[in-house]
Amino acid sequence: MTLHLRPVQFVDTPVGRDGEVARLAGGMTWFSAYEVIEDGKRRTVPIAAFDTEFGGNERATRLHGAITAPRPALTLGDRVLRFDQPSVAAILNVTPDSFSDGGKLTDPAAAAEAGFDLTVKGATMIDVGGESTRPGAPLVWEGDEVKRVVPVIERLAKSGALISVDTRKAVVMEAALAAGAAIVNDVSALLWDDRALDVVMGSGCPVILMHSPDPKKGPHGGEGYRDVLTDVFDWLEARVAAVTAAGVDPTKIIVDPGIGFGKSLQDNLALLNGLALFHGLGCPIMLGASRKRMIGALSNEAPAEQRLGGSIALALKGIETGMQLLRVHDVAETAQALRVWRGLKDAALVASR
C-alpha cells in the first residue's frame, strides 16, 4: 500500500516551536505531527522526528515538501487569487433544477445582480453553473447551457468580478472563457468531454479538478471504496499527474475531493475528517460541502434551505484544515465565520510574541 501523510495536531502559533511544527501550504495553519497511513495501518510521527523516521524515503520527502510548500497566487487579468489564506467562492446557479436554489435565477439580469451582491457580501470568486449535478439530474444540451451562463458571465465580467464556470462540456468552457470567465471548474476532472483538456490547455486558464468515481458515466456513479480517503487521494494524484503531463501548468491546478459525489454519508465524513491529507497533492484545495445532503442526514432530514448551521460547521472544518477555497451558497455568513476565525488566528500570533 502506498504511503500517505496527513497533517495532524494543529497549533495556534509556531512561535517558540522551531523544529517542532511545520506550516501548512504556506497558509495560516501549523501542525506538529503526521498521521502516517501505510499498509493499512496508522501511526503518528512528530515533525521533530520526521528526518529520523523518513530520511531517504523519497515519497515521504516529496509529500512533506508538497504539504508545506506555499501555493503561488494566480494573477487573472486585474484580479489576484491568493492561497495564503482561505477565501469564499460563491455558488451562482442559473438552472431550473439545482438541488438547493434551482429556478430562482434563470433571468440573466437578475442572476448577474445576485452575483454582484455576492461579491459585496464577501465572495472572492463567483462560480457560475448552468447544469445541475444533483443525483438524477437530466443532461443539459450544451447549447442550452451556453445560453444560460454566457449572458450572466458577460455582465459579471464587466464589473471586474472573478468568475469560474462550473461545467464539464468543452463548448461551454470555450464560450464562458470568451465571455470573461477566468477559471474552469469541472466535476469530471476533464474526463467527461474528450475536448475539455484541450480547451484548458489552449486557453492557459486555471482548472479545478473534482473527484467522482466514474466521470464518464456521471458524477454519482461508483461501486464503493477500499479506503475512501486514500482512494480519493490516489485518484486525484493520478489525475493531477496526467493533466500536468498533458501540458497544463501545475501551479494552475486546484483540486476538490468531491464531497457528496458518488459517496455515502460515512464516506463523506471520512473525507471531511481527513481533509488535510489532500495537501500532499501540492495544489490549492476547494471544499464544496455547502447545503449537501449529508447535513440533512445528520440533522433530522433538514431540507436544503435549512442547512446553514451545518454548512458553517463544515466550512470551519475546512478552514481549520487549511482549505484555500470554500464553495458556498451562504456567502455573508461564511465570510463572517472566516473573519472571526482570522481574528482568532491573529490574536494567537500576537499574544505569543
Q: How far is CA 246 from CA 32, 167, 196, 238, in A?
A: 36, 20, 12, 12
- For 322, residues 6+ apart whose C-beta sits below 8 A from its C-beta are 7, 24, 25, 27, 29, 275, 276, 279, 285
Catalytic-residue membership of 121 = no
- For 127, residues 6+ apart whose C-beta sits below 8 A from its C-beta are 89, 90, 91, 92, 163, 164, 165, 166, 185, 327
Q: Position of cell 455582465?
A: 155
Catalytic-residue membership of 353 = no
Q: From the candidates 6, 155, 307, 327, give the one annotated as an active-site residue.
A: 327
Q: Position 128: which residue type? A: V
Q: From the candidates 239, 252, 263, 292, give the one annotated as an active-site residue.
A: 292
Catalytic residue numbers, as ranges: 292, 327
